[in-house]
Amino acid sequence: MTLNFGRVAYAYDRTRYHPPEVSGRIATAIIAPVEDRFREPVFLELGVGTGRVGVPIIARGHKFVGVDVSPAMLEVMRYKIAGVARKVRLVEADARSLPFAKDSFHAVIGVHLWHLIPDWQRALLEALRVLAPGGVLYEGWDVSTGPSEDWNIQERWRELLGEMGYELKRGAHTRRLDEVERALVQLGLEPQTQAVAEWVEERTPRQTMEILEERLYSYTWQVPPEVFRPSIERLWAWVQETYPDLDQTYPIPWKFVLRSTRLPD
């Protein structure tokens, strides 16, 4: 299955958010090292989506270019930055073929990106091509740091799929991050990884089910429709039996991890 980003653009904005204080810490972690080296840094975000990482950078007055293959995602972001978009350019383009000159940016950002690109090597080389000497490549991702009812529901779905003869494969995002790190090291670069923010999200069983049903997790895209629909129906039945109140909130502990790779001067 290929994800229709136009269909889920507003759902992404609704469900994949960071609390304001977390957004601020992420923005600071990205901006501060670049500001230390460049007087007027220009930031590029690949797969900018609806701007959950980009908007806080824009709000601090920096020059920012966002790239995405989805016009619907960009439409949501344009609405969000209306009035503060003087230094912003949003471009519908493929990360594997960027319409920018060499050494154009002082920082290139990609959050939850590489696993969405089959030939990610091209996108990585493009990111490094447009990055100026001394600039920083940032890769970011959210990690759940403990058990949660959200994870229990996802695990039950995996079990139901197994009972139906379908093996759900997860972990593509983590495996791809490892591949990218090895590629960067082979290029003679030195990626550095750190957690820059932690928070707790309150989510309900109903919200978890809606996220699965709308296929907002990339690992759901592989499940064929003839298996997906009946498995979700069975999961709904299990959730309704297991959780007396579908709107009771449960905590999900998260951290945001940032990997930074600086190019030689």
Q: Does residue 160 belong to any structural domain of this protein?
A: no
Q: Which among 129, 262, 112, 142 has a CA at the least distance from the CA of 192?
A: 262
Task: Output the domain CATH number for residue 118.
Answer: 3.40.50.150
Q: Which residues pair with 200 in a beta bridge?
A: 253
141 inside domain: yes
* Secondary structure element (H or E) that encloses residue 195, with its range: strand 192-203
Instruction: Answer yes or no: is 208 within a domain.
Output: no
* Burial classification of residue 87, based on how many CB atoms lie within 10 Å of its CB (0-12 exposed, 13-18 middle, 19 or more buried): middle
Sign of CA dihedral 210, 216, 218, 220: positive
- Give the pLDDT of the chain (265 residues) as one tens digit per residue: 444 555 556 666 666 679 999 999 999 999 999 999 999 999 999 999 989 999 999 999 999 999 999 898 899 899 888 877 778 999 999 999 999 999 999 999 999 999 999 899 999 999 999 999 999 999 999 999 989 999 999 999 999 999 999 999 888 899 999 999 999 999 999 999 999 999 999 999 999 999 999 898 888 988 999 999 999 999 999 999 999 999 999 999 999 999 999 999 9
Residue 103 lies in a domain: yes
SS3 of residue 188 by DSSP: coil
Structure tokens at 259: 């990997």
Q: pTM of the prediction?
A: 0.92
Q: Is 78 part of a structural domain of the chain?
A: yes
In a domain, 213, yes or no: no
Classify residue 223: in a domain, yes or no.
Answer: no
Has residue 23 been placed in a domain?
yes
CA separation for the pair 32, 143 (Å, rounded): 23
Q: How many domains does the chain have?
A: 1
Query: Which residues form the domain of 131?
Result: 5-147+171-202+246-262
